[in-house]
Chain A
Amino acid sequence: MASAAEELDQLMIRPLGAGQEVGRSCIMLEFKGKKIMLDCGIHPGLSGMDALPFVDMINAEEIDLLLVSHFHLDHCGSLPWFLQKTTFKGRCFMTHATKAIYRWLLADYIKVSNIATEQMLYTEADLEATMDKIETINFHEEKDVRGVKFWAYHAGHVLGAAMFMIEMAGVKILYTGDFSRQEDRHLMVAEMPTVHPDVLIIESTYGTHVHEKREDRENRFTGVVHDIVSRGGRCLIPVFALGRAQELQLILDEYWMGHPELHDIPIYYASSLAKKCMAVYQTYVNAMNERIRRQIAVNNPFVFKHIQNLKGIDHFDDVGPCVIMASPGMMQSGLSRELFESWCTDPKNGVIVAGYCVEGTLAKHLLSEPDEVNTMSGQKLPLKMSVDYISFSAHTDYAQTSDFIRQLKPPHIVLVHGEQNVMSRLKDALLREYADDPSRGPVQIHNPRNTVAVSLPFRGEKVAKVMGGLAVEPPADGRVLSGVLVKRNFNYHLLSPDELGKYTDMTQSQVSQRLSVHFSGSPQLLQYILSSLSADFETTKGKYQWRLFRAVTVTLDGKTAILEWVASPGGDMLADAVLAAVLKAETTRVDAPTRPAKFDRMHYKECLIETLQEMFGDEAVPKFFKGEKFHVTCGGRRADIDLTDMSVTCEEDEVFRSAVLTAVTKLYQSLSPATLSRND
């Protein structure tokens, strides 16, 4: 049976995280009874259960599909918890590169997260166990899970980042995840999908901000680094271990190569994780841009000449100017925090915040230029070192977003992954832009808060394909089509029942039944009773076997009566009637007439006259009549009855006529054996 949810025409989009905030991306889609979760991230500024998206709002068991856009913690950080610690039974997909990095990234996260064991959401063993539950999807490959069709586009941003296009019952939804349409040193730009989505769920991290040009940004970055090290300071670049870090390394390595005077100043990259994942970068070159793919055939661009890997702070000899890239990127804890705390009091030193910072992290706090900062141990330190903010994060900016939307022309836009103010500014800006553009048609922009659902009405148009024998004749007005409608994954096919096996995996079956009843009476009695039951009564010669209603066969074999028929609701009902008759014959202990009962017409006529006299008075009907025709008079009206075809005519009074007709036919039916119309 089709459940009510399946027939609903409302598409519900409910952010469980990343609704008017950045971090813990988790968006629920519900449509036609299907539930899809997009991303399952963790909030970098919170810890323990608080950092999870609001998954208590939903029933994990009902989710059919979970898609993870890329390997950043705010997009996949809760995944091991969700897969291992909830009742989730659906399928989970990510791209190959994302899966390969996810495993190492989260293992690293478990190691560095600075919280008590009981607050840990999951362990390394949990993470390991999730690897078998996660399936991979290649870019552009179409998958179908329970009628939900989806495929991935390149999203730029980081290696393996994907935008997902999801199609349910003809409605297409594009989830961008984090994306960037600006070409950089190693990644492709986000693709422009060739199909137009009905709903666009788009990130709004940078809102109305417009990025500076790539060259300017790089020059500013290298300039700041150069300044810091030339004044004898230490340059700290807190970075997320994977993703932008590789981009920065490519830039710094090239800059050092062009500036021999800097060769004495070491660049350290303090991440064993990045080292581990280098093999992944070297393998999935097919997901990178043309430049890298070309170069990798010659030499590996990810083998750096001037950048050394640093195993940990113990191996670091802090003697003079240097550049260190350390994770985590927002200095919540770990190496970047340690280095920051030991360097922040010296004005020669400098920190360059190169990525996006989430509310509640130290990096974000630094941007407000405080005089003092709190250390991990709670102590206060004066902030003397220089702080620069150069955004390298590969997120879309206003120019890219607005161009993307202009090309895709989605009627509905849902903004996620952006802070409240930034998001509403973006919403206003977009609305203003499109208000001036009448050619575009109406656009609705939503920016739901966490747990608040956006409900969009979609008329799930149902189109069926008529196939095979039913479709031989072309459709014409008024043609009646009868057949079996097969519904599979939002697809409808109308078929003739005998062609089911040809077009589907299903086959038509038949169930025949054979029921034995004890019968101790004489065959004649049985025959008599059965013959008075059905007018369609055939006897097989030489055997005690009768066929009633052209459906049920009764055979008498010694003291057993056997009923045989083919199952169908009608057939079962007739069989029940025959069975009742057999049981009646069993209990009736009378000597049966030798001949089968025959309908007595004279008896019927007598009864009819009596009935009519009862109904309309003794005077209404002639006492005797010959042939099959007579009349009834009542209150001056006369109805003529013709018994040959059981018809009644009365010109004056329709009510009277039908009353007489009812009497005539009902009486006939109750006195004669039953007949069934041919079609059954």
Chain B
Amino acid sequence: MHILYAVLWKAGNPQQVDECRFLLDAGWDENFNLNYLRDVRKHVNQIDAVLLTFPDQAHLGALPYLFGKCGLSCAVYATVPVYKMGQMFLYDQYQSRHNTEDFNVFSLDDVDSAFDKIVQLKYNQSVALKGRGQGLTITPLAAGHMIGGTMWKIVKDGEEDILYAPDFNHKKERHLNGCDLEHVARPSLMITDAYNATYAPARRRQRDEQLMTTILQTLRGGGHVLVAIDTAGRMLELAHMLDQLWRNKESGLMAYSLALLNNVSYNVVEFAKSQIEWMSDKLMRSFEGARNNPFQFKHLKLFHSLSEVNRIRGPKVVLASSPDLECGFARELFTQWCTSAKNHVILTARTSVGTLARDLMTNKKKKTLSLQVKQRVRLEGAELEEYQRRELEAKRAKAAALAGDIDSSDESDTDEAPLATDGQVEHDLTLANGKPNPLFFKSSKRQHAVFPHIEERVKYDDYGELIRPGEFAVAEEEVKPEPVKEEAEPADQEMQDLSTVPSKCLAYYRTFTVAAGVTYIDFEGRTDGESLYRILEQLRPRRLVLLRGTDEVVQPLAARFAQVAEKVLIPRAGHPVDATTESHIYQVRLRDSLVSSLTFSKGKDAEVAWLDGVVVMATDQRPSDVTAPTDDAAMETDDAEEAIPTLELLPAEKAPRHSTVFINELRLSDFKQALVRLGIASEFSGGVLWCCNGTVALRRQEQGHITIEGCLSDDFFRIRELLYGQYAIV
């Protein structure tokens, strides 16, 4: 998945629109391989803006690293759900890693500070960029696939649009609408991926049935079902679907448990509940009509730790992150359950080659696996003593340092003060642990309302709301959740312990015999190859950049698209492609006398007229008695460049002659309809439209060429008149 983004970076495409450089997505692979970011690090200082499309790791996973460790510092644009869910993805990822290993690629603070840079947008909300991006407008369009999923439209001066649309889904799903192609007129450059170019997934109904029967069979056989799914994207679709399935009394599923297990499940579901306006029309309508929130689950229970899930009796279905089985609860459950033939593992996405999930998918025969097992265990005995000794030393050193610097000691006093009143030992330990953020260990439990990720880190957009009065009322709010927190603690003792007491991480290899069934059921929610082709044919981008796809997939595809697009480009890692569009544009002011002399005729969705004019460079003064609309943008450009030239009427005798232009593409079937309306008989025979009892024939020769043929008769001229009526003639 990551390759897409690496390609963009390596292509030096921080996608350049004139001088403005965009980073289109900042994804990472499943295992945070630093090599992938090698090239982008070189460009970090030149990037003007980052545009995010989806909230998953493959599309924004590198954001905290780039901001925290590489010094990237620029505006990031994303939709509201991508912002919220993106944060959930990264928190979950961090916590999953942290639970079993020492993870230091980025910290939760990095996540927060990176997300603070995000400007949150709504679909179709245009943002005019400033500075080097002057003249550029970016607009997020609905892309389906995941909630808030975006296709970015980048427009220069109101023309020449670039469409960046990876991983979109044109199909309507249960909780999402399909992508919004209505707002896309023929793009001059389209960047999309060829990942699915030759892929034809199973039909939706078939797929759902397969899922249903797999689940039922396993549960009835007394086994558990592990569904490996992402944190907050595709999970919503599957969770919503399964909850509906469970509600169906005839399904016979009510007897079994349905669980959602990830580190942030409570928050994800809460956010989903308040983002109905981003979901499908059907869900919105049902909410308006019956006021039932689709994410108010009846059967799906939310869990935040493995021990809670293990306490559920009887066969169960668990939706756990992450889909690649590389880390997180899904991996832990896999190692727990894979040895029993009763259990079943359902994989929902094709993850990168090399991940456990992909390995299971491709090597179905392989029954023994050697897996690395990672664990965080308590320190004991000598190790613990050694640890405590070192901590004490560090603490003393710190205290000495503080004593030397009065200012900073003041600060740290105030920092620690609220913690002390909490009276919880853990906090002190955490500080002693050298982790200045006392909140990180709580992320796994919903009860901890003070955990930062459920709070708004909204900076809000241009329209204000920078001052958050709520911030000044923190003290009174902090008091409330306290009782809840305490009663919840024992339940999570295990987790709590491991993340707060001195611990170390172990990693060792163990061989597993995979006895459980493994099935891949496609819940990726992406456009399939055939539809991709149809959509591209309909959009007719003038230039097409195809990302992510092996040579054997892309080459025939490129050949196929060559008829549709003027240029098909396939960038390879590290090689920039030149997708310059030759754009010649300038503006002219149309004199009123000129406009009133024009005769417009109606074209498809616009009006057209032939214009002969002469350019006059002198600026004219606007008459002061009428108000001209104030256009801030226009005025700014006025100052920057010279004034817009005026186009004046060219006297008729000076106008150069031009040949008549027929505008429109006539479809004979449409013309037949028009004839029928007038009561003129006509019929098709061998691709020829015969009118008036076969006296006049219309033939479509090639693209945009029609022949009318007939004997000298009134009918001929009548049909011809009607035919002319179908065109805008200038």
Contacts and interface: CB of A to CB of B under 8 A. Distances in A.
Interface in B625-684: 625-632, 644-645, 647, 650, 654-666
Given A153-B463, A465-B159, A478 B615 contact: yes
| 7 tightest Cβ-Cβ pairs between the two chains A and B | A488-B606, A568-B660, A471-B584, A291-B470, A297-B454, A462-B590, A514-B709
Contacts of B288: 99-100, 103, 131
Contact of A461 (B461, B468, B589): B589
Given A478-B614, A488-B606, 5 more contacts: A462-B595, A463-B588, A485-B610, A494-B588, A568-B659
A96 B586 contact: no
B529 interface: no
Interface stretch (A37-45, A193-201, A621-629, A662-670): A193-201
A293 B456 contact: yes
A468 B585 CA distance: 7
A286 interface: yes
Contacts of A192: 463-464
Interface of B: 80, 121-126, 139, 157-159, 185-186, 267, 270, 273-277, 284-285, 287-289, 291-293, 449, 454-456, 458, 461-465, 468-471, 473, 477, 480-481, 542, 583-590, 592, 595-596, 598-618, 622-623, 625-632, 644-645, 647, 650, 654-666, 701, 703-712, 716, 720, 723-724, 727-730
A283 B274 contact: yes
Contacts of A198: 627, 629-630
A478 B284 CA distance: 58
Contact of B657 (A412, A506, A680): A680
Interface in A34-61: none
Contacts of A486: 603, 606-608
A484 B449 contact: no
A509 B662 contact: yes
A172 B465 contact: no
B289 A131 contact: yes
B422 to A, nearest CB: 17
B453 to A, nearest CB: 9
A475 B647 CA distance: 10
Interface stretch (A228-236, A380-388, A452-460): A452-460
A153 B449 CA distance: 31
A480 interface: yes
A466 B588 contact: yes
Interface in A96-111: 96, 99-100, 103-104
A612 interface: no
B615 A476 contact: yes
A285 interface: yes
A138 B485 CA distance: 36
Nearest to B595: A462
Nearest to A149: B126
A210 interface: no
A459 B614 contact: no
A616 interface: no
Contacts of A507: 663-665, 703-704
Contact of B273 (A131, A151, A283, A482): A283
A110 to B, nearest CB: 16
Contacts of B630: 172, 196, 198, 411
Interface of A: 1-2, 7, 9, 96, 99-100, 103-104, 131, 136, 138-143, 151, 153-154, 169-172, 183, 188, 191-196, 198, 276-277, 279-280, 282-286, 289-291, 293-299, 411-412, 456-472, 474-488, 491-492, 494, 497, 500, 502-518, 567-571, 579, 679-680
A506 B603 contact: yes
A143 B627 contact: no
A468 B584 contact: yes
B80 A2 contact: no
A7 B542 CA distance: 34
22 contacts: A7-B596, A99-B288, A131-B288, A153-B463, A171-B629, A195-B632, A279-B287, A286-B80, A296-B274, A298-B481, A456-B627, A457-B626, A459-B627, A459-B628, A471-B584, A484-B610, A505-B605, A507-B663, A509-B664, A511-B705, A516-B712, A567-B720
A421 to B, nearest CB: 29
Contact of B664 (A488, A506, A512): A506
B613 A513 contact: no
A224 to B, nearest CB: 26
From A282, A289, A508, A510, residue with most partner B Cβ within 10 Å: A510
Q: Specify which of A277, A457, A482, A517 lies most central, judged by the most chain B CB atoms within 10 Å of its CB.
A: A482
Contact of A508 (B628, B704, B712): B704
Nearest to A568: B660
Nearest to B633: A195
A100 B277 CA distance: 11
A510 B704 contact: yes
B599 to A, nearest CB: 7
A192 B464 CA distance: 8
Contacts of A497: 658, 661, 663, 730
Contacts of B159: 465, 467
Contacts of A169: 629
A191 B590 CA distance: 36
B627 A471 contact: no
B600 A2 contact: yes
B705 A510 contact: yes
B584 A472 contact: yes
Contacts of B704: 507-510
Contact of A459 (B292, B480, B626): B626
A131 B282 CA distance: 12
Nearest to A472: B584
A464 B588 contact: yes
Given A290-B456, A466-B588, A505 B611 contact: no
A511 to B, nearest CB: 5
Of the candidates A195, A196, A492, the one having the most CB atoms from chain B within 10 angstroms of its own CB is A492
Given A138-B123, A509-B662, A511-B708, A283 B612 contact: no
Contacts of A456: 627
A479 B626 CA distance: 29
Contacts of B589: 461-464
A283 B125 contact: no
A367 B127 CA distance: 48
Contacts of A299: 480
A510 B185 contact: no
Contacts of A569: 660, 729
A96 B588 CA distance: 41
Contacts of B644: 463
B271 to A, nearest CB: 9
Contact of A475 (B125, B275, B586): B586
Contact of B588 (A139, A290, A472, A475): A475
B412 to A, nearest CB: 27
A500 B595 CA distance: 20
B542 A502 contact: yes
B18 to A, nearest CB: 17
A166 B651 CA distance: 38
B124 A142 contact: yes
Q: Which residue, of A153, A467, A472, has the highest number of chain B Cβ atoms within 10 A?
A: A467
A465 B711 contact: no
B209 to A, nearest CB: 31
Nearest to A276: B291
Given A507-B704, A509-B704, A297 B455 contact: yes
B712 A480 contact: no
Contacts of B618: 477
A259 B625 CA distance: 64
Contacts of B613: 480-482
A354 to B, nearest CB: 23
Given A482-B656, A509-B663, A513-B709, A475 B615 contact: yes
Nearest to A579: B712
A476 B124 CA distance: 37
A511 B707 contact: yes
Given A475-B588, A488-B605, A140 B122 contact: yes
A467 B158 CA distance: 12
